[in-house]
């Protein structure tokens, strides 16, 4: 039992659980369990409790986290011929992978599909625009209370995954959330530790119990952008796309540590200033300068303007293709200079901060099958 301490923090509770599981040898590989979702002994047995839940039996599409203690849960989803979605590690390459076992897969193959290696070998990515509906969500936890309060390992990915699913319409407030833990991980958690972005759980499965929490605390209604840092935006491309989409919808998307200010082309955030200037080369005869709808003329009247280099344009790409992609990402420039024969373009933004925002937003952008190279124009010249 977690000792009652005035001023206890989430990290105090995590450390208590991790220390307890190590001292009592309650965990399997990987060890030590610190800074992990613990792979506890009896995890496979606890996952069997999933089969008893009516919410599982009626679900058609189930999202299960990729951690080791949920391996059996992933297997049961596949064995019962349900659609299994697994988040990509740290969301670096997207949100979900849909596991697609080969036709006629045996139980042994299904068990392989449920492993991390199987997720890599037998999956297809699910894009942001996929009209997927998730009927049940299974998350890992470090600690959870019988009231449904949950504490993860501290990185916030499970909370963010859920919020992103809300933003793309994949889950609703009625979608049940389940966690699978060891009995020692069920502890009292002060409600005052919960924050707006914290996901709560409706069912707790342990090797000995099925706990219906009856939690009435509202789950997150979307991404709390004020909790998102620029570091996270840099690491998670799909988060940048959601940010652009919600900004276009008129939502408050002010990031952590930012202050709201009047709109400007591209994103409405402010990054630390960084130099960005167009290389002093002469465009070829096919260069075609076009001004965006909100644009202003390029030249001496805009001394603070900064440029972004876009390279590796496909041979058959058209300027309309690039403009369409920029519009979808909410990163339209003041002016676009197209140099198709040289497989590149330059995007002019209001200032160096707006240019850097565009570089962050456009990383990983593809036209057709080709991934474009995007950098501040001055950095590209230096290279």
Which CATH number characterizes residue 68's domain? 3.40.50.10420
The reply to whether 204 and 321 lie within a common domain is no
Q: Is the pLDDT of residue 136 over 90?
A: yes
Q: Is the pLDDT of residue 276 over 70?
A: no
| Highest mean pLDDT, choosing among 50-54, 326-330, 356-360, 375-379 | 50-54
The reply to whether 311 and 182 lie within a common domain is no
Task: Write down the pLDDT at residue 267.
Answer: 35
Residue 39 lies in a domain: yes
Residue 24 lies in a domain: yes
Instruction: Please say which residue of 212, 247, 269 terminates a domain.
Output: 212
The reply to whether 22 and 134 lie within a common domain is yes
Residue range 174-187: average pLDDT? 97
Residue 278 lies in a domain: no
The reply to whether 68 and 193 lie within a common domain is yes
The reply to whether 160 and 47 lie within a common domain is yes
The reply to whether 51 and 197 lie within a common domain is yes
Give the chain's mean pLDDT: 82
Q: Is the distance from CB of 75 to CB of 43 less than 8 angstroms?
A: no
The reply to whether 331 and 197 lie within a common domain is no
Which CATH number characterizes residue 339's domain? 3.30.70.330
Residue range 318-340: average pLDDT? 83
* Tokens representing residue 170 in the block: 């994949």
Q: Is the distance from CB of 278 to CB of 248 less than 8 angstroms?
A: no
Residue 166 lies in a domain: yes
Task: Write down the pLDDT at residue 101.
Answer: 94
- Of residues 369, 362, 316, the one with CA closest to residue 336: 362
Per DSSP, the residues of 186-199 read B----GGG--TT--
Task: Report d(CA 271, CA 287) in Å as an integer.
Answer: 30
Interval 241-256: pLDDT, tens: 888 888 888 888 888 8
Instruction: Please say which residue of 161, 189, 212 terminates a domain.
Output: 212
- Of residues 251, 272, 269, the one with CA closest to residue 259: 269
C-alpha gyration radius of the chain: 24
Query: In the chain, how many domains are there?
Result: 2
Q: Is the pLDDT of residue 230 over 90?
A: no
Task: Write down the pLDDT at residue 301.
Answer: 43
The reply to whether 310 and 201 lie within a common domain is no
Domain residue limits at 37: 10-212
Residue 298 lies in a domain: no
- Of residues 82, 86, 81, 83, the one with CA closest to residue 97: 86
Task: Write down the pLDDT at residue 87.
Answer: 86
Task: Write down the pLDDT at residue 298.
Answer: 39
Task: Write down the pLDDT at residue 290.
Answer: 33
The reply to whether 173 and 315 lie within a common domain is no
Q: Is the distance from CB of 337 to CB of 345 less than 8 angstroms?
A: yes
> What's the pLDDT band for 46 if we cut at 50, 70, 90?
very high
Residue 330 lies in a domain: yes
Q: Is the distance from CB of 27 to CB of 17 less than 8 angstroms?
A: no
Task: Write down the pLDDT at residue 185.
Answer: 98
Q: Which of 132-136, 223-227, 232-236 has the lowest mean pLDDT?
A: 232-236
Q: Is the distance from CB of 216 to CB of 189 less than 8 angstroms?
A: no
Q: Is the pLDDT of residue 369 over 80?
A: no
Residue 289 lies in a domain: no
Q: Is the pLDDT of residue 272 over 80?
A: no
Task: Write down the pLDDT at residue 5.
Answer: 52
* Tokens representing residue 182 in the block: 């060891």
Local structure of 64: helix, strand or coil: strand
Q: Which helix (H) or strand (E) holds 210?
A: strand 210-212
Q: Is the pLDDT of residue 291 over 80?
A: no
Using a pLDDT cut of 70, give the percent of the chain over it: 83
Instruction: Please say which residue of 196, 212, 228 terminates a domain.
Output: 212
> What's the pLDDT band for 274 if we cut at 50, 70, 90?
very low
CA atoms within 13 A on the CB side of 352: 12
101 or 276: which leads in pLDDT: 101
Q: Is the pLDDT of residue 285 over 80?
A: no
76 or 156: which leads in pLDDT: 76
Beta partners for 87?
96
The reply to whether 207 and 313 lie within a common domain is no
Task: Report d(CA 18, CA 33) in Å as an integer.
Answer: 6
Residue 40 lies in a domain: yes
């Amino acid at each position: 039992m977690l000792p009652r301490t005035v001023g206890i923090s989430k990290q105090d509770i995590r450390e208590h659980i991790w220390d307890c599981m190590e001292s009592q040898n309650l965990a399997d590989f990987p060890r030590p369990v610190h800074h992990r979702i613990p792979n506890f002994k009896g995890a496979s047995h606890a996952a069997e409790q999933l089969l008893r839940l009516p919410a599982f039996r009626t679900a058609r599409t189930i999202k299960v986290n990729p951690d080791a203690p949920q391996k059996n849960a992933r297997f049961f989803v596949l064995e019962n011929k349900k659609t299994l979605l697994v988040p990509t590690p740290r969301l670096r390459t997207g949100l979900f992978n849909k596991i697609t076992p080969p036709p006629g897969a045996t139980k042994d193959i299904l068990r392989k599909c449920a492993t991390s290696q199987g997720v890599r070998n037998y999956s297809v990515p699910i894009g942001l625009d996929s009209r997927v509906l998730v009927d049940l969500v299974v998350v890992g936890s470090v600690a959870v209370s019988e009231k449904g309060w949950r504490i993860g390992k501290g990185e916030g990915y499970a909370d963010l995954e859920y919020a992103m699913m809300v933003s793309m319409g994949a889950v609703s407030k009625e979608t049940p959330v389940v966690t699978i833990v060891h009995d020692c991980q069920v502890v009292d958690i002060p409600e005052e530790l919960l924050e707006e972005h914290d996901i709560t759980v409706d069912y707790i499965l342990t090797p000995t119990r099925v706990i219906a929490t009856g939690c009435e605390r509202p789950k997150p209604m979307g991404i709390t952008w004020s909790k998102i840092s620029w570091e996270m935006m840099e690491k998670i491309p799909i988060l940048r796309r959601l940010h652009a989409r919600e900004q276009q919808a008129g939502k408050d998307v002010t990031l952590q540590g930012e202050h709201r200010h009047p709109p400007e082309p591209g994103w409405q955030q402010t990054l630390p200033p960084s130099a960005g200037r167009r290389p002093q080369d002469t465009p070829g005869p096919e260069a075609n300068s076009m001004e965006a709808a909100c644009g202003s003329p390029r030249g001496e009247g805009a001394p603070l303007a900064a440029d972004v280099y876009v390279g590796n344009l496909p041979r058959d790409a058209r300027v309309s293709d690039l403009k369409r992609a920029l519009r979808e990402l909410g990163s339209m420039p003041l002016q676009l200079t197209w140099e198709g024969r040289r497989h590149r373009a330059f995007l002019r933004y209001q200032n160096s901060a707006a240019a850097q925002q565009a570089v962050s937003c456009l990383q990983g952008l593809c036209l057709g099958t080709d991934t474009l190279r995007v950098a501040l124009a001055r950095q590209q010249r230096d290279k």
